[in-house]
Structure formats: structure tokens, C-alpha cells
Structure 1
């Protein structure tokens, strides 16, 4: 029986894939950037083969160091998940350049460098993910679930660990 994923706005891969990798993350979190890169290196072949559904959930967690990630998330157009993935990849790669630069300069960067505009619907999406995070007791970012098995910082998962977990879930 395949479990339906709640809040799968940013979902990559088939819904009926046997392995579900969910991550709660925030664009301003350096540990999330590390996980996102590891997932980007390891999951595409599993996604293409129909083995993994990868669901990214931007958690607008009310914590001072994450507020600029929340601001950036407000500009992502979830109706175009492939574009959002590429934007997240780039924003994570350049995180140290923008994540402490102030809200006005972040908004300018998002509108001028990326051609984005604030997405009013993201408030409701954010509240849905916050509600889910509370229900699932997600306290930190990144928090990763692989077929429901929780891996939460400070237990970081690198590319090799992610492959190992996915392979165990497939076995």
C-alpha cells in the first residue's frame, strides 16, 4: 500500500514510488543546503527509475536565523515545481551571499536577479506545512523522513547515508 504524502506541493517522482523521501527544510539553513546538495547528487536516478518520490517542504519555522529563508520562500511559484527546484538549488549554492544581507536586498535580488514576485498563495501553503510540522513533531531543519523513518539534525545524513537509507527501504 502506497502512502499518500501530505503537502506534496514540491514533489518529484511518481506518487506510487515505493520509497518516499520527505524533507522539511529552510533556504537560510546551512545544514539544509548540505542535505539538498546530497539529495541532488543521489536521488535523480532513483526518481527517474520510479523508485523514489522526493517531496521538499519549505518550513517557515519561526526562528530568527531562518526568517530570510521564509522571505525567499514567499517568492517561489509552487505551480512550477521544476523551476522552484532549480531556484532552491541556486539559492542554497549562494546562501552565504544572501542569507544575512537584509530583507530589502533579498527582495531586490529575488525580483531583479531571478525575475520573481511575491506569491500570495504561499501564505496558505506555508501554514499547511507548519501545521504538518507541528503534527509530526518536526522541531529542527532539516528533518528527513524516508518511508516514515525520521532522521533529524543533529544526526545529519550525507549522500552515502541517503543512498544507504534508500537502498534499505527498497530491499
Structure 2
């Protein structure tokens, strides 16, 4: 079992929790939006009870359909994980409105609607997450790891299966 999780900047819950749920995702991926919503509903009580640590890793995967998610990630200040969680929740909910716009429109939305600016440190964090994804052989998003066991969404894990997997470990 993993005790120290790499790239845990966006970590929610106790680092001492017995279950680590790590997800590699991208803001422009519709499957990631669905997983994020499912995880938001499923994991909150476990996080509050100290049973789960939920770690989100934005995978700036170099794939055309994901590039605007990578662009949005560049505007996140990783020193404010709670704010980023709320932003992700909103951006995933509104994904269909922005993820196929052009880059200038997305930048304008992020600065004017959300008061964000590009965060140079985020590029370094993104590169570290890409390196980890390569090391762990992550090919698709979302890729979910529960105590180092990998699951693919939606093929291998949905909200109910996520809950069942956590219960198995507990």
C-alpha cells in the first residue's frame, strides 16, 4: 500500500487515511467530468471520516482533445487546493460550454469570470505529474488508483464500484 503519495498537491482528506484514491484526469475530458462528479458524491463522507485521502492529478496529456484542459490547469494556483477543487467542479459542470472554444476565449473566461492568472509554478507541477503518469504507465484519463490498484473509468469502475472497492479495503 502507498503511504507517501507523489504529486499530492491536490489532496483532500488525511494523509494517514487507510485508503488512497488517486485519479489522473483532465478538465477537457467528458469521462473525467463524469468520474469527478461520481467521486465528489461518493468520497465526501469517507474523506470527512478520515478513511480516504483523495488525490487529484491533472494530467496535461499531449492529446488534441485535452489541450484546453491543460490550458485551464495552467491557471490553477496549487497552493489553494480547496479553491481548485471548487473550480474543477464548476469547470467540469460547464465543460460543454467551454472545452471546444478557442484558447483566447478560454483564457479570457478564466481571467474575467474566475479572476485567475497563469501560474508559472503549475507548469512544473504539471510536468512532474506527466512524468509520474509515464512511470505508472497511465495511458488514458481518468485513470483511478485505489491503494495502487489501477482501474479504468468507465469500463472497470463507476460510482458504486468505487464505493465497493473502498469498503473492501476498509
2:37 pairs with 1:37: yes
Work out the CA distance in 1 between the residues paired with 2:156 and 2:2: 27
| Residues 2 and 152 (structure 1), Cα distance of their counterparts in 2 relative to 1, 3 Å cut | closer
Give CA deviations for 1:68-88 in whole Å, capped at 9, x if unaligned: 000000001110000000000
Structure 2: 5+ residue runs without aligned partners? none
> Following TM superposition, where does structure 1 have runs of at least 4 consecutive aligned residues deviating by more than 2 angstroms?
none
Residue 106 of structure 2 corresponds to 106
SS of the residue aligned with 2:120? coil
Give the TM-score normalised by the residue count of structure 1. 0.97
2:129 pairs with 1:126: no
Work out the CA distance in 2 between the residues paired with 1:84 and 1:113: 14
Give runs of aligned pairs for residues 54-73 of structure 1, distance below 5 A: 54-73=54-73
Give the TM-score normalised by the residue count of structure 2. 0.97
Deviation at 1:157, TM superposition (A): 2.3
Give CA deviations for 1:56-99 in whole Å, capped at 9, x if unaligned: 00000000000000000000111000000000000000000000
RMSD, aligned CA:
1.1
Work out the CA distance in 2 between the residues paired with 1:162 and 1:128: 26
Contact 2:32 2:141 in 1 (8 A): yes
> How many correspondences in the alignment?
170
Work out the CA distance in 2 between the residues paired with 1:54 and 1:153: 16
Structure 1: 5+ residue runs without aligned partners? none
| Residues 154 and 39 (structure 1), Cα distance of their counterparts in 2 relative to 1, 3 Å cut | closer
Work out the CA distance in 1 between the residues paired with 2:158 and 2:76: 26
Contact 1:2 1:18 in 2 (8 A): no
